[in-house]
Amino acid sequence: MCGLTGFISRPSADFSNRIEAMSSRLTHRGPDDAGAWTDGDRGIALGHRRLSILDLSPQGHQPMSSSCGRFIIAYNGEIYNHHEIREQLVAENSGISWRGHSDTEVLLAAIQKWGLPGALERSVGMFAIALWDRQENILYLARDRCGEKPLYYGVRRDAFVFASELKAIEAFSDDSLTVNRESVACFLRFGCVPAPHSIYENVWKLPPGSFLTVHVPAAGRFEFGQPESYWSVAQVLRSNGHDDSEQWDDRHAIDEIDRRLRQAVRLQMEADVPLGAFLSGGIDSSVIVSLMQAQATRPVKTFTIGFHEEHYNEAKFAKEVARHLGTEHTELYVDAAEAAKVIPHLPEIYDEPFADASQIPTTIVSRLTRQHVTVSLSGDGGDELFGGYPRYQFGEKLWARLSRVPKPIRRLSARPLTMLSARSWDTVLSRTLPRKYRPVITGHRLHRLAGILSAESLDNMYTSLISHWQQPGDALAWRDKAASCTVGAKMDIPDQRALNRMRYADIGRYLPDDLLVKVDRAAMASSLESRAPFLDHRVVEFALTLSPRFLVRGGQGKWILRQLLDRYVPRPLVDRPKTGFGLPLADWLRGPLRAWGEELLDEARLRSGGFFDARTIRRIWGEHLAQKQDRSYLLWDVLMFQAWHERRYS
């Protein structure tokens, strides 16, 4: 696990200083080694920070040149099947002069043999790649299939810049980047900035499963178009056609997921440094730890955090699972004071506004884990792949009812709900509704209902269902088309089944833009590598075409994972309602975090910032403090933006 950066610019006297400045901002991603490579004739520079995981010797140093000298690579990630690829190259007598045993060298050799698309097709892993082809004068940027590893790119002061994190792009020059208004609206809708956007103008995220080609015809000049996809959910579904899993019996399906996951876990347990796993005590992490322990020769090191608030505390369940499996378990209980210590660091850790509140416990458990190991496996991806979220079943039932009603009637029913702003609705409802209904029926929820009723399709309905701010314009200080943000509302996917379309939407957006961002930044802030066996693309492809009857039965999601876990852990230890990696945010904002929130949401500060409607934000803050309504999720969006903006521009 590492950090990469670079640029294409007109050669200048400070060429080396710039790449070093950019790389130094990524030290947390790679504290073990640093490297830079430049080509003044073409005006290109590559920088790298290394967290040594495989082949700890200097032979793993980057940027690395291919044995033929044609390619230079700066790479972040792991190619889990590098032994298999190396054996194939040796068997084919590929003429590679091997120097060490790193997966980076194997990746370069694969590119030398098969080209970048061929190497990507054969690679099982997580990665972000910057590859310079000295023969063709082309820079390639590539990202893994599911988006585990980040990669940003853009244009700054007539230069093409790229990096694992935005902070390295910011370091390219002293001038400030401009906030993208559409990205602010998208952030309020989803709690994160979805690809291909970044929070800045002229800077983008490379989408998962894609690569970008940048031609460099002369020193400092560059030409690039749109990213090209080499893997996507739609491509998998089209290539597989009609899957035969409908004909499988239960035993065959469970055996198959057992085999695939066991293989993925085995590959991801390879490391030349200490390794462990996050364990929440839920289905997903318990499956991963069970398969780790089943293939380990000593107790697996497992880590969890807990809360003193009983409703949010899963540590006791994790402890029971750990005791049953015989792992070496470490737990840490967290209170609001501990969370408050983390919050000031979040803008620096996440680089752009990010409002998944579980970023706090994820950051804390990553720090705890790094004290003991350098690599940690997780259960990320299990809910999206195997239908674990309760919203899937709710959404399926809701759409089944809505779709029976003609669209014109639904639109007509929704129209009155949007004739008033959410704020105006709250005023009207406070005067007309009995007090006991006021916390439940709010202007925000009426707008959400309107979005659901007027949805043109299941995809639109699901976007409305998962949106934070249903109408981002309600919170913004400006009113224009940027306030809508409909990223991801339509999917070019042949499967029309409701459960599957919602899963596919989350795999394409929520997983890479929220969950994987959360884990990558939190872990790498502590120089910890996090791996997700569920996201081995062979497991993903199996799950994508799995018959829905293996996903949901008896009102419960993840049916097939539950059956698999029964082979390793008694059902009573894990059979409970899903709670997620949450925290008592609503109570903390009214108590220990109130002063911090009041400072950031001060009316004068909101107005001077110029992004939010100060009256609206102050109103919902007051409603939350008075316990009239739980506004914690909406407020967390604004608080995280305010904290980020003040950190960047103050």
Active site residues: 2
Which stretch of DSSP H or E encloses residue 79? strand 71-79
Q: Which of 641, 645, 579, 648 has its CA nearest to residue 355?
A: 641
Cite the beta strand spans of 216-269 per DSSP E: 223-224, 228-229
Greatest distance between any 2 Cα atoms in the chain: 81
Long-range contacts of 322-325 (CB under 8 A, 24+ apart): 322/279, 322/289, 324/569, 324/570, 324/573, 325/289, 325/290, 325/293, 325/300, 325/568, 325/569
CA pair distance 569, 580, nearest whole angstrom: 20
Q: Which of 329, 314, 246 has its CA nearest to residue 574?
A: 314
Which stretch of DSSP H or E encloses residue 260? helix 250-268
Q: Across the chain, how many H-helices and E-strands are there? A: 27, 18
CA pair distance 77, 82, nearest whole angstrom: 12
Cα separation values, 111 from 200, 221, 306, 400, Å? 33, 25, 45, 48
Tokens (6 digits) for 68: 């033929």
Sheet holding 33-39, edge to edge: 33-39, 44-50, 2-8, 159-163, 152-156, 203-205
Cβ neighbours of residue 401 closer than 8 Å, sequence gap 6 or more: none
Which stretch of DSSP H or E encloses residue 104? helix 103-122
Which stretch of DSSP H or E encloses residue 385? helix 382-386
CA pair distance 447, 483, nearest whole angstrom: 14
DSSP label of 311: G
Q: Do residues 330 and 368 touch, judged by C-beta distance below 8 A?
A: yes
Place of tokens 């894990």: 574
SS3 per residue for 580-639:
CCCCCHHHHHHCCCHHHHHHHCCHHHHHHHCCECHHHHHHHHHHHHCCCCCCHHHHHHHH
- Taking the CA atoms of 337, 339, 341 and 347 in sequence, report the sign of the dihedral they define: negative
